[in-house]
Amino acid sequence: MKFPTDLVKMEPHTSVTLQKEREKANFPVQEMGKFILGEEYIANRERGLEIIRSEPETFDNKEFYFMSRTEKMEKAYQREKRVLELLREGKIKSTDIRYIYSMLDWVSPFDLSRGMFVPTIAQQGTEEQKKAFLEPALKYQIVGCYAQTEMGHGSNIRGLETTATFIEETDEFEMNSPSLTSTKWWIGSLGVSSTHACVMAQIYVKGKHVGLFPVIVPIRSLIDHKPLPGVTVGDIGPKMGYNTMDNGFLNLNKVRVPRFNLLQKYVSVSRTGEVTRPANINSRASYGTMVLVRASIANNMGKQLAKGVTVAVRYTAVRRQFGEPGKPETPVLDYGIVQYRVIPILAKTYAMLGMSHEFMAQYEKSAALIRNGDFSMLKEMHAVSCGLKRWSSDTCIYGVDTCRHVCGGHGFSQFSGLNEFWATIYPAIIFEGDNYVLAKQVASYLVKSAYGLRNKEEIDSNDTTNMFRHFMNMDSKLSPAQLYTWSGKSAQEIASNENVLLDLLGYRVISMVHDLAVKIYGKGQTMEESSVPSQGIATVHSEYIVCSYFNNHINKLPQGSPLRPILKALFKITALSFLTRNTGELYGLPSKASVTREQINGLESEYIESIKAVREQAVPLVDALGVPDEKLNSSLGRYDGNVYEDYMERALSEPLNRDGTGEEIRKRFYDKYIGPTIHASSNNQTKL
C-alpha cells in the first residue's frame, strides 16, 4: 500500500520541538545518567546495544507487534540459540546476556534457568552438588527452572502439597504430586525448555515431616527432550502478557531421584535416614532465593518505569492540542493536569533508581554475612525486600498505565510501545509474593520490632529500628522540638528541608505501627484481622525507605555539583507525593506531633508548585535515563522525535496493508464476507 508523500510539512516539526526541549537542560545530561544509573550499568548497556546492533537480522524488534504467540516463542528460541553461540565462541560474556535481553525488553524462555535455577543451587547446594548441577547449567548443557508455585498454592508455601519421601531401601527420594492442585503451575522456563526442575517439596523421612526443601528432578530426556517416566509436563497456555516465556505445569507420579538430589547446604539426610542441620543456621535460610528475586524485582522496576515515562514525556512534549488562533497549538505537557500525572512518575523513577543503589548494597552486605553464617540482617532484609518489591512493582505498573493513558488515543496502539510492555511487567505485582500478602509480612516485622524495643528486648540495629529508637526517645534525651521538627514550621519550610520531610515520613510510620501494635498486643487482634491496616503500614514504611535511600544517594554528590538542584527537586516531589497521597494519615498523628490543617493544605500547594518547577527539565531528565529506541520500540517515544512518520510506517507494515500479502487478505475477506453481505439479494435489502 502506497501513502502520499507530497503532504504539507508539519510546523513546527515534532523533531524540532523535541530538540528545543533538550536545549532547556540546566544540568549535564550525561553526568546525570552516570550518577543515577551507575557507570557499570551504562557500560553494560552500551555493550548489549553493540551486540544487538551488530546483528539486526536476529535482534530487530519491529515485527514483534505483528507476531502470534508461537511466532514470538520461535523468535525467542532463535535469539537464545544465537546468544549462546556467541557465548561459546567467546564473542560475548555471560554477563552480557542479561543486558542484551534488557535492551530488547524481551523475556527469554531460558531466563528462569539463569535467574532462579542457577542461584538456588549456588546458594543451597554443596560443592559436590554444584559440580553435578550448577556447572552443566552454567554451560547450558542442562536447562532448569524453579518449581515452587502449585495450582492450588502460591503465597502459602507451607501449604505446598508436592512430597519427597525418602526410600531408605534404594537411597532415593520419591517425588509425588498427590492431587490435581499439587501440580506445579506458572513455572517459568518449564513449559518447553527445561530438562531439570528445582522442585520445592515437603520432605518426609521415616514417616516424619522434615520441612520444605528443594530437590533437583530430571524431567526431560537429554537425548530427545521427551518427558521422563512419571513426568507430565507442558505449557500452561497464553497469558495476558509475558508470552515469550514458557510458563509450565509439572505433575510427578512417584518419580524416583537419588538422595544426593536434595540440596543439602541447610539440611542433610544420611544413607540411614538421619536428618541433621548445620549449627547456627536460620530456619529462613532456604528462602534466600525468594529474597534475591524480590530484591532483583525492586532493582529492575525503576529501569522499567524509565521506559514508560520516557515515552510519555517525549510524546506529550511534542503532541500539540488546542491553543490560541493563528499560533502553534500548545504542547500537551504544558497543561497542568498532564504535568500532575507525568512529572511525579518521573520523580519516582529517579527515586527508585537512586534507592536501588543503596538497597542492593544492603542486600549484598546481607548475602555476604549469610555466607559466613551470620543471619543478623536476614529478618530486616526479608521485610525490606518484601516492602520494596511491593512498592516498586505497584508504582511501576500503575505508573506505566498512567503513561499509556496520558498518551491519549495513540497510547492504545501497540506502536506506543506501552501495551505489550505493560502486560509483560504486570505479573510483578503478583509473582514472588502477592503484594497484599507481602504487606502483612512487612507489618508483622515492624510491629514485632517496635514492641520489642518498647519492652527493651535486644533488637538488631538497622535503618528502620534506628528510626524507631529515635522517635521512641526512651531515654528522654530529645526535646519535642528535636523530635517533631515540623512543628511550628510553615509548609514551605517543611517542603524545602529534606531532613524535616524524612522526619515526617518516618514519624508517620511509627505512629501507624504503634496504633496497630496496641490493637494486637493490647486488644488481642490477630495479624489476619490486621490485613487492612497492614497495607497502609507497608506503604508508608517503603515510602520512608525510598526517600531515605534516595537522599543518601544524592548526598554522595559534592555540595557544588550541578546535579544536586534538580535531584533535590525530584526528591521534594517524591516526598510530597507520599505525604499528600492520603492526608488522613497526617491528620491521624497524635496531638503532640500533629500536623495542622494549614500545614497540610500548604504541603498540597507546595506539591503542585514543585511539579510545575520541573516541567522545563522533563525531556532532559528522560534523556539522562538513556532508554534506547531498541528497548522503547515505540513510535511515540522515539529519540529523534519523528513520531508520526514512524507511526505511519509501522501501520503500513501491518499484514493487512502490506503489498502482496495485504492485497490477498483483503480480497479474501471481501470475496467471502464483505461482498456477499453488501450485495445480498434484493429481497433481503433495506431501502435507505
Binding positions for FAD are 149, 188
**How would you classify the pairing of strands 144-147 and 196-205?**
parallel
Phi, psi (rounded to 5 degrees) for 248 = -130, 175
Sheet of strand 231-235, all strands in order from the earlier edge strand to the far edge: 184-187, 248-252, 231-235
Amino acid at 161: E
Distance CA 147, CA 128 (A): 22
Q: Verify whether residue 432 is a known catalytic residue.
A: yes
- Is residue 389 within 8 A of residue 432, CB to CB? The reply is yes
Phi, psi (rounded to 5 degrees) for 435 = -60, -35
- Is residue 212 within 8 A of residue 286, CB to CB? The reply is yes
Distance CA 171, CA 321 (A): 74
DSSP-derived 3-state class of residue 270: coil
Phi, psi (rounded to 5 degrees) for 62 = -65, -30
Distance CA 450, CA 335 (A): 45
Which among 80, 150, 380, 432 is annotated as catalytic? 432
Distance CA 651, CA 672 (A): 24
Please name which of 396, 402, 188 lies closest in space to residue 300, comparing C-alpha atoms. 396
Distance CA 152, CA 182 (A): 6
Task: Give the angle 570-572-577 at the CA atoms, nearest 5°.
Answer: 95
Handedness of CA 627, 361, 128, 284 (dihedral sign): negative
Q: Which helix (H) or strand (E) holds 269?
A: strand 268-269
Distance CA 37, CA 360 (A): 13
Q: Where are the beta strands (DSSP E) in 58-130?
A: none
Q: Which residues pair with 256 in a beta bridge?
A: 174
Distance CA 368, CA 244 (A): 34
511: cell is 505512629
Distance CA 251, CA 560 (A): 62
Task: Give the angle 446-448-453 at the CA atoms, nearest 5°.
Answer: 95
Distance CA 137, CA 123 (A): 14
Q: Which residues are annotated as a binding site?
A: 149, 188
Residue 614 neighbours by CB distance under 10 Å: 19
Q: Report, as residue numbers or ranges, the catalytic residues.
A: 432
